[in-house]
Amino acid sequence: MTMFNLEPMVGHNKSFYGKAKIYDCGNGLYALLSYDTTVAMGKMDGTIYRTWGGYSATTMRHIQSFAAFLGTAVGGKRDWEDNHPLWTVNAVYDAETAKVA
């Protein structure tokens, strides 16, 4: 399990200056940390779970680059809130564990 900085993959930013990190949770599951808060989790098949109910423009840019890292896209705030229900981190782990078992 490793952690690394997320590089901007969408938009005009050249760097997130260490404020967006990806944590490899194992079993193909990744967590996005924006300002040290786990805001999303996802898999390389494009599945993304929203794990934070808040919103900021900067965190949305982190989420959009995380989606690109996973090979998918998130359109913006409305798309994020309407198409990605809020999960707790524990619920994501439980759902992924059930899929593996």
Q: Does residue 101 register a pLDDT over 70?
A: no
Domain boundaries along the sequence of the chain: 3-92
pLDDT, tens only, 67-98: 999 999 999 999 999 999 899 888 887 877 76
pLDDT, tens only, 8-36: 998 888 999 999 999 999 889 999 999 99
38/18 Cα distance (integer angstroms): 14
pTM for this predicted structure: 0.90
Q: For position 100, what pLDDT does the model report?
A: 54
User: What is the residue-averaged pLDDT of the chain?
Assistant: 91
